[in-house]
Amino acid sequence: MIANTPKPPYYAVIFSSVNTENLAEYSETADRMVELALEQEGFLGIESARNELGITVSYWKDLDSIRKWKKHAEHAIAQERGRKEWYELYKTRIAKVERDYGYEKT
């Protein structure tokens, strides 16, 4: 559930969003986008949580794989539908992960 990313450096796309109330086919499309992302070159993992605010962080090998994913035909259609129907607002941040560390209860 916490993405098992490699050693930094790698990239994170932080997608923060607030939904509209018109969510027809939203969760099916979101699931399909995850399925599709998994197949992309350079994809490293994804984490997602939502209350009023939704945060999805996807992890990528480099900027080039992020660019290609943004332009992926089926993903582009979903993005456009997102703006028209599902998102009240969103913000996307592209960030280079420089360091990471973790903890696991034993």
Residues that bind a second copy (CB under 8 A): 1-3, 5, 8, 12, 14, 16-18, 20, 47-55, 57, 83, 87-105
Token output for 54: 């939704």
Could you tell me the smallest distance in angstroms from the CB atom of residue 46 to a second copy? 11
Residue whose C-alpha is closest to residue 97's, from 65, 66, 59, 68: 59
Could you tell me the smallest distance in angstroms from the CB atom of residue 12 to a second copy? 5
Nearer to a second copy, 23 or 53 (CB): 53
Residue whose C-alpha is closest to residue 35's, from 72, 5, 87, 10: 72
